[in-house]
Structure 1
Amino acid sequence: MPPELNGIVVVDKPKGISSAGVVARVKGIFGVKKVGHTGTLDPFATGVLICCINQATRLSQFFLKGDKVYEAELVLGKVTDTQDATGTVMERHSLGGLSAEQVQETAARFVGSITQVPPIYSALKHQGTPLYKLARQGVPVEKPARPIRINHLEILEMNLPTVRFSVSCSSGTYVRTLCADIGRKLGCGGHLKALCRTASCGFPVDAAFSLEVLAELKEQGGLGETVIPMNEALPFMPAAVADDGLAKRIRNGAKLSETDIPIPPRVSDQGVFKVVDPRGRLIAVMAESPATGNYNYCCVFSA
């Protein structure tokens, strides 16, 4: 019996399929029971969708919190109910007198720590029901504004009413809402026309595999080369090395502290670190607990 396949595969999601649809395709191609993605892309969007296979599905929480990079196309002068090109146009405004300099200056104001109201057409839930379902039923629910961070925003091309830009942002950022907010600040409105996630948690779209290529590699017996092992999938997380004895204690859930595992010199932004064996295989992800002096277990993996 072949060993269980655990790791991530970076997929270049095509247009016209949901993220859940990609997961179903990946599950079929790899012939595995468990696959999960790490951050929804709308059906009209393309680009990086990190898919976690088998035990690696437990790592999705760390990818969900990671920064993302997008290339987006904003169309000014039209406001839609969904904030993107799939929706109904609700308002039209003239761009008379609007200059490229105004667009540049306004977009630059969004860089930094800001708040954003999630769109009413989104997968966020209200009392267990996705907001987009409530909106389609004529019962729109607006969630309160929440903090996000725009690390960098660069306008790549401007041919009004169309503005193409690149944005690096924190998790939880809605690029279509960013487009709508920029349009609102300019006084003419706007919506997102096209979106490509060019990187997620440091994994670029150039290194992603299309579903067609994955299917071809399956026929050629080369699928295994596309899977990034769990340890290598967490390059942003500092590592501690455990010998076989300590690895056994960890898998048995023993209480551990700095006496057992010195905190790695570079602790991640999420306050967690990974523990690997001398062969580089992931044993666990752990978090500091200053209150108790012990480490908290985030997830532990079988040998």
Structure 2
Amino acid sequence: MEEPYGEVFLIDKPIEWTSFDVVKKVRNALRIKKVGHAGTLDPLATGLLIVCAGKMTKQIERFMGQEKEYTGTFELGSTTESFDLEKPVIFQAETSHLSEADVEKAMEKFTGEIQQIPPMHSAIKVDGERVYEAARKGKIVQIDPRPVFIEEFELMKFENPTIHFRVVCSKGTYIRSLARDLGNELGVGAYMSSLVRVRIGEYKLEEAHNLPDLIAEIKSR
């Protein structure tokens, strides 16, 4: 008797795809219903997405709970309603007075356990409704701060007003909120202009499949 089917796919999520778009593509290729992902990546983010199929969907919570590592860029001196490029950029303040030392000093305040408020344009639920759906209707939703753990928050390069960063963090950390809070700490505002998830626990982006190649491979079985 055959064992029940189960498989884990490491996928490099393309830009402008939702995590559910990727799941749907894999589900259609496999022709089974039980397919899910282990941790949302925003449409404008790229990088490692773990997709579980069949009996491996029981492992989703275990994958989701693992440490995450990201690289990306923040833009200082401007912000957006969503704190990424999904919404129009609004100028806030001049940044020419800021030095690399200023940025590093501010970043130090966001390591260890911190209290973080998720952005209004996020998938968390408040009173049974996803916050981004409430935001699109113009509703004001009270989002309580939640504890997250930032293991490392490293400045890779500062090309004023662009910050190139690397962050290692716990489940539930919003990098867009980190951009917002760092911009507020520096007094000039900020938003996330790019984001790549490079690791989830022991799983690395360099091990991930290009999505079209993976779909072709599944269909050729």
Q: TM-score range by the shorter chain?
A: over 0.9
SS of the equivalent of 1:192 reads: strand
Q: Which residue of 2 aligns with 1:98?
A: 98
**Any gaps of 5 or more consecutive residues in structure 2?**
none
Cα distance in 1, alignment partners of residues 120 and 91 from structure 2: 17
Structure 1 residue runs without a partner (length 5+): 222-303
Range with bigger deviation, 51-60 or 88-97: 88-97
Alignment partner, residue 139 of structure 2: 139
d(CA) in 1 for partners of 2:4 and 2:212? 23
Structure 1 residue aligned with 2:55: 55
1:78 & 1:181 partners in 2: Cα distance?
13
Structure of higher RCO (CA pairs closer than 8 Å, 6+ residues apart): 2
Aligned partner of 1:104: which letter? Answer: E
User: What are the residue-to-residue correspondences of 1:216-227 with 2, within 5 Å?
Assistant: 216-218=216-218, 220-221=220-221
Correspondence 1:272-283 to 2 at 5 A: none
Which secondary structure does the structure 1 equivalent of 2:209 belong to? coil
| Equivalent-residue separation in structure 1 for 2:217 and 2:10 (angstroms) | 14
Following superposition of structure 1 onto structure 2, how do residues 173-212 of structure 1 map, counting pairs within 5 Å? 173-212=173-212
- 1:81 is matched with 81
Cα shift at 1:198: 0.4
Partner of 2:19: 19
Instruction: Find the residue that maps to 1:27 and give its secondary structure.
Output: helix
Q: Distance in 2 between matches of 1:119 and 1:57?
A: 28
Q: If the length of structure 1 is used for normalisation, what is the TM-score?
A: 0.70
Highest CA radius of gyration, 1 or 2? Answer: 1
Q: CA deviation at 1:121?
A: 1.0
- Aligned-residue offset at 1:215: 2.4
Report SS of the residue matched to 2:212: helix
Which stretch has the larger CA shift, 118-127 or 163-172? Answer: 118-127
CA distance in 2, matches of 1:205, 1:134: 33
Write the letter of the residue equivalent to 2:102.
Q
| 2:72 maps to amino acid | A
Give the counterpart letter for 2:193 in structure 1. Answer: K
- Following superposition, the deviation at residue 97 of structure 1 comes to 1.1
Distance 2:142 2:47 in 1: 28
- Cα distance, 1:143 vs. partner? 1.1
User: Residues of 2 paired with 1:185 and 1:122: CA distance?
Assistant: 22
State the AA in 2 paired with 1:146: R
Contact 2:29 2:219 in 1 (8 A): no
User: What's the offset of the Cα at 1:66?
Assistant: 1.2
Q: Report deviation, 1:122.
A: 0.6
The 5 A counterparts of 1:230-269 are none
Deviations 1:76-127 (A, max 9, x none): 0002111111123345211131111101111122111111011111101122
Q: CA deviation at 1:65?
A: 1.4
The amino acid across from 2:77 in the alignment is G
Which SS does the other structure have where 1:120 is aligned?
coil
The separation in 2 between residues aligned to 1:71 and 1:125, in whole angstroms, is: 27
The equivalent residue for 1:111 is 111
> Which letter maps to 1:37?
H
Number of aligned residue pairs = 221
Kept in 1, the 8 Å contact 2:30–2:219? The answer is no
